[in-house]
Amino acid sequence: MGTGEQRALHGWGRTAPTIATVVTPRTPEEVAAAIAAAGPRGIIARGLGRSYGDPAQNAGGTVLDMTGLGTVHSIDVDSGIVDVDAGVSLDTLMRRALPFGLWIPVLPGTRQVTIGGAIGADIHGKAHHVVGSFGNHVVSMTIVLADGSIHELTPDGPESELFWATVGGMGLTGVVVRARLKLHPVETAYFKVDTEQIDNLDDLMRRQTEDDDRYAESVSWFDAVTTGEHFGRGLLTRANHATLEDLSPKQRKDPLKFDAPQLLTVPDVFPPGMLNRWTGRLFSELWYRKSPTTLGAIQNITQFLHPLDIAGEWNRGYGPHGFLQYQFVVPKDRGDVIRTVLSLVTEAGQVSALNVLKQFGEGNRAPLSFPKPGWTLCLDIPIGPGLGELCDELDRVVLDAGGRHYLAKESRTTPEAIRRGYPRLDEWRKVRAAVDPQGVFASDMARRLELI
């Protein structure tokens, strides 16, 4: 494991780096040893660093690089249950499980996420309205607590409170080292996709309300640059897993083929300001035009789920100042907030090129889990003058509508905003305090948002 090295760490947004001692444990016992050795600034687990803000940073303290625990222990084809280390990525698990016809039911916009991170942020994907979030599919997890003890938690077992406090708990209850997950059977690795070009926001949202239940996966992208009558024009892409019959004869020869190439790695050479009103408009136009309405197209994993995974380190394209993602959810009957937020962004002259809108289904029992029934919108904006003020204004609109922020994306809000958005925060704090009375688990996010 070694004694660790001092390193500057930041999130995927490349903002607010801080220095921590990074230790790479290889076993649960080494995790326990690192926890025991943690200094006054505490310790936090880190996976692949795909959270946008600072939950996997710990200034002046210790950070566990969990990718050292990377074994897929077993895959039970009949029950669909896999037993994996927390440092295994969704990408690795998918490559191992797909040949057996097993599908990870919850996949976010990237596969470069560890199992531990997926549990800690209780991640969601385009299938949320059908399958819920990641925590719903965890059969059991092994966690190392602040006192070094190793516990096996289940959703309904004797320590179910701790299980659900760990789901969405941003790593602050303990270090998840291993988990058993229930995967879903699929016939093929392809999707049968309906793509619809819709030329304004109201219609885009109406269509998602009408018949999302016909699809296993649903998401929309819209243009936040164009104003006027085409304001919020977008692409609605919805899909079901393709069956063998849906495939072409050629695809049928290898129906579970994992087709997910990474074609390039973006170099770290871009100046700030690459995304501006002009490039934003061009990007929006191209993205909209590239996908005319087509029904029933067969697409592979990368085409449908993870178009951004084609380029490694794509966050470098935003330049040295980095960027942030602003993701929130508001209740179903407050769809009007989406339009208000968009208008505020456009009026402030900010450019968001990747705007993803989706309707969530039911949430789960975890007090800090993000999804709840309603609309979730994710904006993606480069850091620049006026962005802080704009986001503060968006906070007011979102919170007044009964909404909240997604902690995996969060990088700049206030403790007050989190308290308002997560009414069960105190309940979560109590469970946390019972297993970590000294506050051994700490992160930059925990300090910034006063989570602990």
Partner 1 sequence: MIDAVGNPQSILLLGGTSEIGLATVEAFAGDRPLRVVLAGRPSSRLDDAKTRLEGKGCAVELVDFDAQAFDTHAAVVGKAFAGGDVDVAIVAFGLLGDNEEAWTDAAKAVELAQVNYTAAVSVGVLLGTRLTAQGHGSLVALSSVAGERARRSNFVYGSTKAGLDAFYTGLTEALRPSGVTVTVVRPGFVHTRMTEGLTPAPLSTTPEAVAEVIVHAVRTRTELVWAPAPLRFVMSALRHVPRPIFRRLPV
Residue numbers of the site for partner 1 (CB under 8 A)?
A: 6, 8, 13, 15-20, 41, 53-54, 58-61, 321-322, 324, 383, 387-389, 391-392, 411-414, 444, 447-448
Residues in contact with 151: Cβ distance below 8 Å, sequence separation at least 6, in sequence order: 142, 143, 145, 159, 162, 174
Reading the block at residue 269, the tokens are 């050479």
Nearer to partner 1, 334 or 448 (CB): 448
Calculate the alpha carbon distances from 306 to 110, 225, 236 in Å: 6, 23, 15
- In the complex, least distance from residue 13 CB atom to partner 1, rounded to whole angstroms: 6
Nearer to partner 1, 54 or 91 (CB): 54
Nearer to partner 1, 54 or 85 (CB): 54
Nearer to partner 1, 56 or 176 (CB): 56
Nearer to partner 1, 16 or 305 (CB): 16
Nearest by Cα to 236 from 192, 269, 199, 264: 199
- In the complex, least distance from residue 132 CB atom to partner 1, rounded to whole angstroms: 29
Nearer to partner 1, 58 or 355 (CB): 58
SS3 category, 108: coil
- In the complex, least distance from residue 450 CB atom to partner 1, rounded to whole angstroms: 9
Instruction: Return the HEC string of 175-237.
Output: EEEEEEEECEECCCCCEEEEEEEECCHHHHHHHHHHHHHHCCEEEEEECCCCCHHHCCCEEEE
- In the complex, least distance from residue 392 CB atom to partner 1, rounded to whole angstroms: 7
DSSP state of 248: -
Residues in contact with 70: Cβ distance below 8 Å, sequence separation at least 6, in sequence order: 85, 87, 88, 92
- In the complex, least distance from residue 44 CB atom to partner 1, rounded to whole angstroms: 12
- In the complex, least distance from residue 65 CB atom to partner 1, rounded to whole angstroms: 16
Nearer to partner 1, 388 or 437 (CB): 388
Taking CA 331 as the corner, what is the angle to CA 328 and CA 335, rounded to the nearest 5 degrees? Answer: 85
Nearer to partner 1, 45 or 201 (CB): 45
Burial of 213 (0-12, 13-18, 19+ CB in 10 A): exposed
- In the complex, least distance from residue 219 CB atom to partner 1, rounded to whole angstroms: 25
Which position has the token pair 């600072």?
A: 54
φ/ψ of residue 209, rounded to 5? -75, -40
CB of 380 within 8 A of CB of 52? no
Nearer to partner 1, 188 or 325 (CB): 325
Task: Please tell me the distance from the alpha carbon of residue 167 to that of residue 165, in angstroms, as a whole number.
Answer: 5
CB of 153 within 8 A of CB of 354? no
- In the complex, least distance from residue 54 CB atom to partner 1, rounded to whole angstroms: 7
- In the complex, least distance from residue 59 CB atom to partner 1, rounded to whole angstroms: 3
CB of 330 within 8 A of CB of 374? yes
Nearest by Cα to 275 from 228, 220, 324: 324
